[in-house]
Amino acid sequence: AQSVTQLDSHVSVSEGTPVLLRCNYSSSYSPSLFWYVQHPNKGLQLLLKYTSAATLVKGINGFEAEFKKSETSFHLTKPSAHMSDAAEYFCVVSEEGGGNKLTFGTGTQLKVEL
């Protein structure tokens, strides 16, 4: 069984300050982990993915995430927030032995203020 927990439903940062969106997972198999972003009235867009290669994963738009097996975490970070980063972010887990099904976190709404 797999699950994912996004610890914050809302995060608010000032433009130019760092972003941290937290995600913890549980998985019976070696997981693949993803972060997706959804802007209002838009489809999902993949930010980055971890698939058992390098534990520090760099994605688009300056985002990165680090896979920490000991902490079962996959937190998303960005050094400097931009207004255009305001959106809903989903942490997602998939198990190879789980039929490729995705399990989504409940989402984190990121607000960026001037």
Contacts with other proteins by CB under 8 A lie at: 32, 34, 36, 41-44, 46, 49, 51, 90, 94-96, 99-107
- Given a contact cutoff of 8 angstroms between Cβ atoms, the answer to whether 31 and 37 are in contact is no
Provide, rounded to whole angstroms, the least separation between the CB of residue 112 and other proteins.
Answer: 19
Nearer to other proteins among residue 71 and residue 96 (C-beta): 96
Instruction: Give 24 or 32: the residue with its C-beta nearer to other proteins.
Output: 32
Residue 98, phi then psi, degrees to nearest 5:
-105, 25
Indicate the residue among 69 and 82 with the shorter CB distance to other proteins: 69
Show the tokens assigned to 17.
């300050």
Q: By the 8 A CB rule, do 25 and 91 touch?
A: yes
Q: How far are the Cα atoms of 14, 113, 114 from residue 48, in angstroms, in the given order?
A: 23, 24, 26
**Least distance to other proteins, CB of residue 16, Å:** 28
Nearest residue (CB) to other proteins, 85 versus 95: 95
- Minimal distance, residue 106 CB to other proteins, in Å: 5
Query: CB of 27: closest distance to other proteins in angstroms?
Result: 12
> Which residues contact residue 26 at a Cβ distance below 8 angstroms, ignoring those fewer than 6 apart?
1, 2, 3, 4, 72
